[in-house]
Amino acid sequence: MNYPNGIKKPQNIDISTKPVDYKNRGMTLEGEINQSNEYYIEIGKAFIYKKPTPIKIVNVDFPSKNKAVIKEAYFSTPSTTDYNGLYKGKYIDFEAKETKSKTAFALTNIHPHQIKHLENIDNNGGIAFIIVRFTTLNETYLITAERFLNYINNNDKKSVPLEYFKTDAYLIKDGYRPRIDYLKVVDILIGGKI
């Protein structure tokens, strides 16, 4: 099991020697986070779940007494983030997004009320962040809501450049189990806040 497993600040990575992780190939960020969360639950480390996709149901059929088939429904805008839960007695809340861009994370990727929600959580004692994967570069960052908001409130409101992630976010390296060990960063955040 000699898979790389750990987190380093961006300045510590040597891209040229980074091994290709064949096991994770083709898996989406969401899939990897879900697997990681299942692993955390399995070992009793954290209880973090993805929320179901919000759907507006318009029409339901009942072909038999105990069976219901949704015949018409629409995807609706989420009011909050995709993931939340409990770790070390703390409330954890985050959104996860992929981008194909090699230079910046466009704010069109995230709903304004999701940003507002992360701000609320950050201001009220929760641990709030966004996990962003630059898929073309195969780099995954955890940026705190505080650092994210700091950028968009003081700079361009359309996108956050990769350079800002390199200086103000945490790089999460690929792992085996869990696939993406973001709680290592959360440990740093909890440590830093105490």
Residue numbers of the site for a copy of itself (CB under 8 A)? 41, 44, 47, 49, 51-55, 57, 68-75, 78-80, 84-86, 88-93, 117, 120-121, 124-126
Question: In the chain, what is the straight-line distance between the N-terminal and C-terminal CA atoms, in Å?
Answer: 34
Shortest reach from residue 35's CB to a copy of itself, in Å: 14
Contacts of 23 (CB under 8 A, 6+ apart): 3, 176
Q: For a copy of itself, which is the closer residue by CB, 70 or 106?
A: 70
Long-range own/partner contacts, residues 25-33 (CB < 8 A, 24 or more apart): 27/179, 28/98, 29/96, 29/97, 29/98, 29/131, 29/133, 29/135, 29/140, 29/180, 30/82, 30/96, 32/179, 32/180, 33/83, 33/96, 33/131, 33/179, 33/180, 33/182
Q: For a copy of itself, which is the closer residue by CB, 3 or 49?
A: 49
Shortest reach from residue 15's CB to a copy of itself, in Å: 37
Rounded to an integer, what is the distance from CA 92 to the centroid of its chain? 11
Shortest reach from residue 25's CB to a copy of itself, in Å: 25
d(Cα 118, Cα 124) in Å, to the nearest integer? 10
Q: For a copy of itself, which is the closer residue by CB, 25 or 65?
A: 65
Shortest reach from residue 191's CB to a copy of itself, in Å: 17
Q: For a copy of itself, which is the closer residue by CB, 116 or 158?
A: 116
Shortest reach from residue 190's CB to a copy of itself, in Å: 12
Q: For a copy of itself, which is the closer residue by CB, 22 or 74?
A: 74
Which backbone phi and psi does 153 adopt, to 5 degrees?
-80, -20
